[in-house]
């Protein structure tokens, strides 16, 4: 059975001290409440080592938000997959729509990052999704399929089973448009069908596919009720312990 997962992406928020306090607050709350899903927090690089010392890995997994596409060397400002792993983190978010849009990360680069993450024992949370122009041109299935094929379909079935996929309807984030639970389910079902076409139904059924749209306590239960939506990759709502706990409670 695949895991239900609620993963928070803090993005470029929280000083080290603030991040440590938030991690402590979550740890205390989840220790008392015992969540019915896997909980992951994606912190900035500077937080990883300290947060890993605070949280019980059985309760909360820790993720980086990115890693470099090189193993090591003269790449000022970059952080390698090996460095991420050395902090105690278990996961890494790759291909987030903001990385694709602002830092021009393409499918080929993300293929390299995925290989390095897996080589270093990290579980990639791999983001895919279409922008507004692609959705309006009815190319959303084509775009998502190409992102999977060009970055991930070189992997063996055994390596692919180590992945977590996160679908981001980029067109519905901060645009005033909203993706309905039906639209989320439609795309998640398409993703699973695409995975089954490559790796077989058994592997496709093992992969957790998370929803990375605007998920909050008020709509999480409805979204997560869909048969192919296995949880969420949460942005803003993960920055407040009560909001994040509200989403976790949807399971």
Helix 16-33 and helix 241-248: axis angle, to 10°? 40
Closest to 81 in 3D by CA, of 34, 117, 49, 108? 117
Give the 3-state secondary structure of residue 239. Answer: helix
* Interatomic CA distance for residues 51 and 61, integer angstroms: 10
Which two structure tokens, joined as six digits, stand for 185? 């389910």
Task: Considering the candidates 47, 98, 168, 188, report the single residue annotated as catalytic.
Answer: 168
Task: Considering the candidates 96, 98, 105, 140, report the single residue annotated as catalytic.
Answer: 96
What phi-psi label fits residue 131: left (phi over 0), alpha (psi between -120 and 50 degrees) or beta? beta
Has 168 been annotated as catalytic? Answer: yes
Neighbours of 214 (CB within 10 A): 20
* Interatomic CA distance for residues 162 and 164, integer angstroms: 7
> What is the 3 state secondary structure string of 60-81?
EEEEECCCCCCCCCCCCCCCCH
> Could you write out the DSSP letters of every residue in 19-45?
HHHHHHHHHHHHHHH--SSEEEEE--G
Helix (H) or strand (E) holding 198: helix 181-199
Active-site residue list: 96, 168
């Amino acid at each position: 059975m695949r895991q239900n997962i609620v993963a928070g992406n803090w993005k470029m928020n929280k000083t080290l001290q603030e991040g440590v306090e938030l991690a402590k607050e979550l740890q205390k709350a989840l220790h008392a409440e015992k969540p019915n899903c896997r909980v992951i927090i994606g912190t900035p690089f500077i937080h990883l080592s300290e947060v890993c010392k605070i949280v019980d890995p059985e309760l909360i997994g820790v993720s980086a938000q990115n890693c470099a596409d090189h193993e090591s060397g003269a790449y000022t400002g970059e952080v390698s997959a090996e460095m991420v792993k050395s902090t105690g983190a278990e996961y890494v978010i790759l291909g987030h729509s903001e990385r694709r849009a602002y830092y021009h990360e393409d499918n080929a680069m993300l293929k390299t990052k995925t290989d390095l993450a897996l080589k270093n024992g990290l579980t990639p949370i791999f983001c895919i999704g279409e922008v507004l122009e692609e959705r309006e041109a009815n190319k959303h299935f084509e775009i998502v399929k190409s992102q999977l094929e060009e970055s991930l379909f070189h992997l063996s079935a055994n390596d692919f089973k180590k992945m977590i996929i996160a679908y981001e309807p980029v067109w519905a984030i901060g645009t005033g448009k909203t993706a309905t639970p039906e639209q989320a389910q439609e795309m998640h079902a398409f993703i699973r069908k695409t995975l089954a076409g490559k790796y077989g139904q058994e592997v496709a059924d093992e992969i957790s596919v998370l929803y990375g749209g605007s998920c909050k306590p008020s709509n999480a239960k409805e979204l997560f009720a869909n048969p192919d939506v296995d949880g969420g990759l949460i942005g803003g709502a993960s920055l407040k312990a009560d909001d994040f706990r509200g989403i976790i409670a949807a399971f």
